[in-house]
Structure 1
Amino acid sequence: MCCTDMALAYVEAHAGWSEANTTPSLARDYSAFLSRAPDGSARAAFAVEGVRCAGCMSVIERGLAGLPGIAAARLNFSDRRLAVTWEPTAEPAIGAVLEALEALGYRAQPFDPGRLATAEAAETERLIRALAVAGFASMNVMLLAVSVWAGNVSDMTPENRDLFHWIQALVALPAAAYAGRPFYEGAIRGLRAGRVTMDFPITLGLVLTLAMSVAETLAGAAHAYFDGALMLLFFLLIGRVLDQAMRRRTRACAENIAALRSASATLVEEGGLRDVPLAELRPGARILVRPGERVPADGRVEHGASDLDQSLVTGETGSVPVRGGDAIFAGALNGNGALTVRVTAAAGASLLDEVEGLMRRAFDARSRALVLADTATRLYVPLVHAAALLTLAGWLVAGGGWHAALLNAVAVLIITCPCALGLAIPAVQVAAAGALFRDGVLLHDGTALERFAGIDTVVFDKTGTLTLPMPTLAEGPHDPQVLARAARLALSSRHPMAAALQRAGEGAGPFPGAQEAAGLGVRAVVDGVALRLGSPGFCEAEAEAAATLAAHPDASVICFRAGREAPVALPVRQELRPDADAVVGALREAGLRVLVLSGDRPSAVEAVARRLGVTEWEAGLTPPDKIARIEALQRAGRRVLMVGDGLNDAPALAAAHASLSPVTAAHVSQAAADALFLGRSLAPVLCVLAAGRRARRLMLQNLWFSAAYNAAAVPLAAAGLLTPLIAALAMSGSSVVVTLNALRARRTPSTLRPAAAAPARTAAIRAPAAAGGRP
């Protein structure tokens, strides 16, 4: 049997691929999962099951690196997506990759977003059920255990004590058998592949504790340890559920990007029009983009005119007029005119594909950064089980016998039940998230608090971030009669700039018979007078528009003309957020470096930067440009907070050390950001930095306390000096101490007050020293 057939048999057996639920082409042809780069190299993505820790990444990547023709293998720990690239001269063999992964102890299948969503939903449901069972069982077993502990120091008879132990066993054994399956299965797969995974010591501890408890119950002993085993399982499952939730969020980014991609294109041929899959488009082809459709590929307009939402490129929420000769990009939303476009970059090479690739690489890089909880978990399990093993060996060497040796080894496992450790990080995250919510910040990811704590550089987008998302008419001496007629005409337009004039009207209705000219503006005839509202060219107002822009360099213009009267250019701008200058000033005073990176034109960006006192700014940046600037800062040792809202900001938000978006941001940007903030104020930027520093400090305090508790308790348990009652009281006490300390995060500093109050508050967000130094 060849590698491909073996892999297919494996996938059909373990992933449910069969004739009944899969199309024949998907089940027997892997070519749909391959993509080709311009240099001829092939690339494929795989969904890998069984990845539990950062060590799995190196195992998989090293294991695949030795396969013939493999140029690179990179695993994203966040969404378990494995990207494999073959050499240009090599024949890609997906089956060989699947077989190699199986030999390493991992289930895998070619990456299919639809199947991944279904599989993740099923796994999440399975983990939540296991968590519910473990939580319910641990509470009931703990109640019985407390009764036994109290009875051992009072007048409980041995018969009643044994009855309580057997009831605990009846509850704990089935619950542990069901709830522990995610760990048991991972341990067994690893052993079959000749590896010891992180699931193995967990499984070993659970099985030994339960077996020892049953043996003690059979012997009529005074103590059993069912409660400790279930508590351990409960806290470990909490971590698994949170990890699964984070993977769903990462996948949401990919889904939002996919929503911008057209599934097909309308090809213009000599014989007429033909709908073709996007994969069939080639550079040089001519396509038709109808009103309301998304542009399927990068190209240049040959015929037609329209307004396009190109926020993916510029970040500007306003539509951009395009006509013959203008370049347009995949993912842009066509407005009100049909366009004939000559394709310059098709599927796989468009700007949208580049944005998606940038976001994937950004998440790859972030997934490799271990946070405090990961580090603590990686150290805890091997150290605890090593201590238990040494206790067992020590008592055997000392001649204590197997019973005493096993009893004290299990006591070590119980006394180190990670209640305090399990609460050390999540309790702080929950308290800090609640405090931020009261300040108008919605935290997507609790681990982001640790990243907010290290920020020393803040990068702002301009449009929709430093400014309010909706444009307004600039203040000035406007003729009321002109403004009233322009506002009524604007009611017949869908252009965002027209919306600024609509709000300036006084409630009058639109002119009857008004018509919108695609990509140009709105026209109407009122009392025999032709009225026009739109672009300078449409209103023959180029000179007036140039004069208005010279007086308002940070504004855009919309022009109005009535018959033979002189045209009027009205300045429209996006106003700064009310406290933007105070927030930026507080950031600089706290020692943070502040930059503005925008896709808008230079004059508008310069005006905003000058008003805020920001000396470092760049304009006209594309998504690759933004991510390149952020990566350069991070290579210099800076820890960057990106604050942005546009589609073009999404890769930069993902690549930054931490990220923040307004709740009005594009869906892709919301999914990529670590937190969202509500309202018109920019002060939440200061809130997340203050909350991050306070939360990290409390997390470290909790971890140090947990470490000190275990350092003191383990030697006593290993020496046989602690009774289960004392151990239980110690565990409960440590959890209470950790929880009370975590509640201090609820006193997170709130929003920044005006500049007069800023100095007293900036101490809470004082920037740490940057490795790269201040330029």
Structure 2
Amino acid sequence: MQSDVDFSHFLKRTGSGRLQLDLAVEGISCAGCMGKIERNLSSIPDVTSARVNLTDNRLALEWKAGALDPALFVERLAELGYRAYPFQRDNAETLEAERAQSLLRRLGVAAFAAMNVMMLSIPVWFGNVSDMLPEQRDFFHWLSALIVLPAAAYCAQPFFSSAVAALRARGTNMDVPISIGILLALATSVIETIAHAEHAYFDAAIMLTAFLLAGRYLDQNMRRRTRAYAGNLAALKAETAAKFISPTEIRTVPVAAIKPGDIVLVRPGECCTVDGNVIEGRSEVDQSLITGETLPAIATPGSAVFAGTLVRSGTLRVRAAAASDGTLLAEISRLLDHALQARSRYLRLAERASRLYAPIVHITAFLTMLGWIASGATFHDSVVTAIAVLIITCPCALGLAIPAVQTVAAGALFRSGVLLNAGDAIERIAEVDRVIFDKTGTLTLPELDVANLAGIPEDVVRLAGRLALSSRHPVAAALARAAGASEPLADIEEEPGRGVRGYYEGAPIRLGHPSFCGADSRANEILCHDPEASVVAFSHGEARHVFAIRQRMRPDAVEVVTSLARLGIMVEIVSGDREPAVRRAAETLGIHTWRANVSPTDKVARVEDLTSRGYKVLMVGDGLNDAPALAAAHASMSPVTATHMSQAVADAVFLGEHLGPVLMAIIASREALRLMRQNLCLAVVYNVLAVPVAIAGLVTPLIAAAAMSCSSVLVMLNALRARRSEAL
């Protein structure tokens, strides 16, 4: 089959001479499908990655540029029994909604047919032990056939189509034994009805179909809810921007055409389209996506804004620093994609089990039939028992055991500000018993803040902030931000290395080094009490003031460290910062083990030392110097403000100003790991108990259908408990 799709529009360059393509794949329903697709496509030469996202049936492919024609992937998937086409989120959402509606319609028809057939079966059951005439029983059986046969042909179509596609590709999936079970139950029932037998199994066939549709709809609905969070991010991405092509003229252009340095206009009620800095205007902005703070922030000249930031009250002119795929919003979306594509050793175990399970089910059912025939049973009774075995041993629960938990857990973590960046991150984070924090930018916020603002008159703060706008120094920028300054003073001169100076209301005014402002004694007093701070002095006439500037601790750092201790997790600080600063942070947080002036090599050595002593270390850091330690640790996390290298190495990234997501990641991961183990145990125990009972002929196909479907629903309901970690 040749594809006539032009894939060039959908290809992305990922660097290192590689191309990436996302394909929407129809027919993926479980871990077995995921493993089958990934194994086959990964075996193609020059393919470096093939990852299936079960949440939105998306296949992410990466390969060496120029080595392959993308149409090859579509053809290979067709050979495996799956239809594929370029993934487009809008189209994918529409198709997914249509699939959900289709499942719901089929479920409604199956449930209606099952209720009617059960009503017809009741008089037959009682009639077989009373005086019902054979003609009357045949009438009820034919009436049941009239209801069930067309209903099953319509309602079981998703299972039949999937099974046929798998068999055409010379393989099997979980829908093969399901389809065989339904068809055998229907065929046997028709034969029994023609032969005027006492029993027919139309009720079992349609009930099995209804139960399976209910389980599949619940599974899809659960995955759609988690995927909605990714969709919400996509909705924040505008396709166009209002760009200034001259100081007075704007033009609407595609966001992809915006380059760093361009100036864009953002009006009230619009989402910012770029990452950048405000150069003109003032507005309340909702930036909860980035900071986690639900209250609106004030954006003024010099303020940083991000794509996806909702501008509420005023118009802003923003100088772009990044646009389109380079924005922080795009990075968050990519990290979320990693979260929804998560893999783990438990999922790999479930994939292997599901892959082996289908042939084992068929062999078990066939041997059961032969065993019953050999023991003297009739062919009819042997086939009925084999049908019950085939139905009751369907591995749906096993296939859903791990993906269901991962999907719910990834959604819960994302809502709490944690984005997974590694397939087995949940498992490794759940196992940690030691946490190492970097200090600067991790325990503290990355931006500088004025520590002694409350002790300085408001009018002095406002004036110093206006003067600070004339300086490029980061300490002056922190003062201007803290003062909320937006109007710089006129006729200000800067003396490099010393500060800025000018006149205000006829008196000299200065901001900069303490000696430049004649405030050395006051600066020394502050440094004696707060050696971690940087100081900037301000003078206006004879008045002298000194501002203490330093990074402030994350608002909930003390509570998080205390909570980690309650969980039995030891905490320490390993930082390259100065000893007084690290000591002060450790004392503030109640951390007894800390190290300062540590090099990147020393950080790795500390991680390896703890690992050699049996600890499972979680490293939390943000700087380039933390990247080696993040890679060496058992698990790792970085704030969203971290360097790209640290984010790439970390197993998870957390959003906002709070440290709480680190605690949440551990709690949620422990809960998810416990539920994964429970689900695997539930699936195994169910089969250990159910299979011998079915082989012994103690269950009818109807009871087998109910038992198999209930096991799948039980696994999914148990997975939903991963959401309760948010409350914890």
Alignment of 1:572-583 (within 5 A): 574-576=554-556, 579-583=559-563
Aligned partners of 1:265 and 1:275 also within 8 Å: yes
Partner of 2:365: 388
Q: How many Å separate the matches in 1 of 2:396 and 2:42?
A: 40
**For residues 418-459 of structure 1, what are the alpha-carbon distances to aligned partners after superposition, in whole Å with 9 as ceiling and x for unaligned?**
8998999999999x99xx99xx999999x9998599533576
How much does 1:277 deviate? 3.6
Q: Is the 8 A contact 2:554 2:657 kept in 1?
A: no
Match of 2:385 among 408, 422, 438: 408
Q: Map residues 344-355 of structure 1 onto 2, 5 A cutoff.
A: none
Distance 2:283 2:160 in 1: 58
CA distance in 2, matches of 1:136, 1:653: 52
Supply the distance in 1 between the matched residues of 2:39 and 2:400 (Cα, whole angstroms).
35
Counterpart of 1:507?
A: none
Closer, same or farther in 2 for the Cα pair 1:620/1:170, shift >3 Å? same
Q: Which residue is 1:186 aligned to?
A: 162
What is the identity percentage for the equivalent residue pairs of Structure 1 and Structure 2? Answer: 32
Residues 1:357 and 1:214: Cα distance change in structure 2 (over 3 Å): same
Cα distance in 1 for partners of 2:80, 2:701 equals: 44
Shift of residue 123, structure 1, vs aligned partner: 1.7
| 1:223 counterpart residue number | 199
**C-alpha distance 729-374 of structure 1, shift in aligned 2 (>3 A):** closer
Distance 1:278 1:251, change over 3 A: same
In the other structure, the counterpart of 2:233 is 256
Cα distance in 2 between the residues matched to 1:250 and 1:7? 29
Find the counterpart in structure 2 of residue 766 from structure 1. Answer: none
1:621 equivalenced with 2:597 (yes/no): no
Shift of 1:575: 3.4
Contact 1:76 1:364 in 2 (8 A): yes
RMSD of aligned residue pairs (Cα, Å): 6.7
1:478-557 to 2 correspondences below 5 Å: 482=457, 516-517=486-487, 551=529
User: Is 1:176 equivalent to 2:172 in the alignment?
Assistant: no
Matched, 1:118 2:119: no
Which residue identity is paired with 2:156?
G
Question: What residue in structure 2 maps to residue 232 of structure 1?
Answer: 208
Deviations 1:17-51 (A, max 9, x none): xxxxxxxxxxxx54321233555544332222223
Contact 1:541/1:568 (8 A) holds in 2: no
CA drift of 1:117 comes to 1.8
- Counting only pairs closer than 5 Å after superposition, residues 372-771 of structure 1 correspond to structure 2 as 381-395=358-372, 402-413=379-390, 416=393, 451=427, 454-457=430-433, 482=457, 516-517=486-487, 551=529, 565-567=543-545, 569=547, 574-576=554-556, 579-587=559-567, 589=568, 592=569, 594=571, 608=585, 611-613=589-591, 615=594, 621=622, 632-633=632-633, 638=634, 640=635, 688=668, 691-692=671-672, 695=675, 698-699=678-679, 702-717=682-697, 722=698, 724=700
- 1:83 matched residue in structure 2: 60
In 2, Cα distance between equivalents of 1:454 and 1:751: 17
Change (3 A) 1:156 1:602: farther
Quick one: structure 1 residues 50 and 558, their matched pair in 2 at CA, closer, same or farther if it must change by over 3 Å?
farther
- For the 8 Å contact 2:174–2:354, the answer to whether it is kept is no
For 1:248-277, what per-residue CA distance to the aligned partner results, in whole angstroms no more than 9, with x for missing partners? 634733752673677458476899876654
Offset of 1:410 from its aligned partner?
2.0
CA contact (8 A) 1:265 1:296 kept: no
User: Cα distance 1:205–1:489, how it changes in 2: closer, same or farther (>3 A)?
Assistant: farther
Kept after mapping to 2: 8 A contact 1:138/1:227:
yes
SS at match of 2:173: coil
Among 206, 214, 237, which residue is 2:182 paired with?
Answer: 206
Partner Cα separation in structure 2 for residue 144 and residue 549 of structure 1: 89
How far apart in 2 are the matches of 1:565 and 1:374?
73
Tell me, in whole angstroms, the C-alpha distance in 2 between the residues paired with 1:50 and 1:736.
Answer: 18
Partner SS state of residue 486, structure 2: strand
Structure-1-length-normalised TM-score: 0.61
Helix, strand or coil at the partner of 1:36: strand
Alignment-mate amino acid for residue 368 of structure 2: T
- The one-letter code sitting in structure 2 at the alignment partner of 1:116 is A
Tell me the alpha carbon deviations over residues 82-133 of structure 1, each in whole angstroms, 9 at most, x when there is no partner. 334453444x634444344334322111222221221222222222333444
Distance 1:194 1:54 in 2: 18
1:708 Cα deviation after fit: 2.8
State the 1:713 CA deviation: 0.7
Q: Are residues 214 and 205 of structure 1, via their aligned partners in 2, closer, same or farther at CA, if it must alter by over 3 Å?
A: same
Could you tell me how far 1:687 is from its partner in structure 2?
Answer: 5.8
What secondary structure sits across from 2:343 in the alignment? helix
* Structure 1 counterpart of 2:486, one-letter code: E
CA distance in 2 between counterparts of 1:219 and 1:385 reads: 27
- Report whether the alignment pairs 1:34 with 2:11: yes
Aligned pair partner of 2:3 in 4, 7, 17:
7
SS of structure 1 residue aligned to 2:457: helix
Q: How many Å apart are 1:730 and its aligned residue?
A: 11
Say if 2:77 and 2:84, in contact at 8 Å, map to a contact too.
Answer: yes
Q: What secondary structure sits across from 1:366 in the alignment? A: coil
Q: Using the alignment, how far apart are the partners of 1:62 and 1:450 within structure 2? A: 23
Q: Could you say which residue in structure 1 is the equivalent of 2:21?
A: 44
Say if 2:41 and 2:47, in contact at 8 Å, map to a contact too: no
**3-state SS of paired residue (1:47):** strand
Alignment-derived partner of residue 287 in structure 1: 262
Write the letter of the residue equivalent to 1:7.
S
Report the Cα distance in structure 2 between the residues aligned to 1:131 and 1:730, rounded to whole angstroms.
15
Amino acid at match of 1:46: L
Can you give the 5+ residue segments of structure 2 that lack an aligned partner in the other structure?
466-476, 491-504, 596-602, 604-618
CA distances 1:622-675 after superposition (whole Å, capped 9, x unpaired)? 6x9888765543xxxx3x486x88576999999987x7979x889xx9xxxxxx
**Equivalence for 1:130:** 106
Pair 112,173 (structure 1): closer, same or farther in 2 beyond 3 Å? same
Total equivalences in the alignment:
657
Partners of 2:22 and 2:58 within 8 A in 1: yes
Aligned position for 2:611? none
Question: What do the CA deviations read for 1:129-172 (whole angstroms, capped 9, x no partner)?
Answer: 33444455556655665675566566766566555545544554
| 8 Å contact kept, 1:291–1:334 | no
Cα drift, residue 716 of structure 1: 0.8
Segment drifting more, 577-586 vs 101-110: 577-586
Kindly indicate whether the alpha-carbon contact (under 8 Å) linking 2:212 and 2:709 is maintained by their aligned counterparts in 1.
no
Query: What is the rounded CA distance, in whole Å, between the counterparts of 1:573 and 1:602 in structure 2?
Result: 16
